[in-house]
Amino acid sequence: MKEYTENELKFKAEAYCSSAEHCSAEVEAKLQAWGADAEVTERIVAHLRKERYLDDTRFCKAFVRDKYRFTRWGRMKIVQALRMKHLPSDAIQAGLEEIDEEEYSNGLKELLRQKARSVTGKNEYERSAKLIRFAVGRGFAMDEVMRFVKQTDSDDYLD
């Protein structure tokens, strides 16, 4: 493996951060993979923060927007993914504030409507349970899911 100087590592990290939004943990892992020791990694990450290449709050906001709009994840799954990236709670909270409540609810409703077409079960209760399990698995809270899943009307059990 090629040995990089601290300057080369700094330029590589700047290029890496310029290509897409990354969090500190991802950049640190990348630097270590490139052979940087802990001290060099710390200096480079500090430089990246100072020059605004790296901003955990900005990363959280972008991550939250992408996950609830494009992959249709619920809040709980998004928070869990951000925690696994070792991000501070205040940055995670700032990211969650990016969620547009109406868009979030409409996304959940549409996700349930699409899934309802393919869900089969012996009875209405079983079909509803499968839908609820699906949505909770996607990271939506039980109370959010229950607002849209009805357990009575067999034709259309979504509001």
pLDDT, one tens digit per residue, over 58-92 is: 999 999 999 999 999 999 999 999 999 999 999 99
Please work out, in degrees rounded to the nearest 5, the angle formed at the alpha carbon of residue 83 by the alpha carbons of 57 and 40. 70
Q: CA 9 from chain center: how many Å?
A: 28
Contact in structure between 115 and 131 (CB atoms under 8 Å): yes
Q: Which residue positions in the chain have pLDDT lower than 70? A: 1, 151-159
pTM: 0.85
pLDDT value, residue 155? 46
d(CA 61, CA 44): 23
The ranges assigned to domains in the chain are: 6-50, 56-96, 101-146
Helix (H, G, I), strand (E, B) or coil at 124: helix
pLDDT value, residue 1? 65
Helix ranges restricted to H, the chain? 6-19, 24-33, 38-50, 56-69, 75-84, 89-96, 101-118, 124-137, 142-146
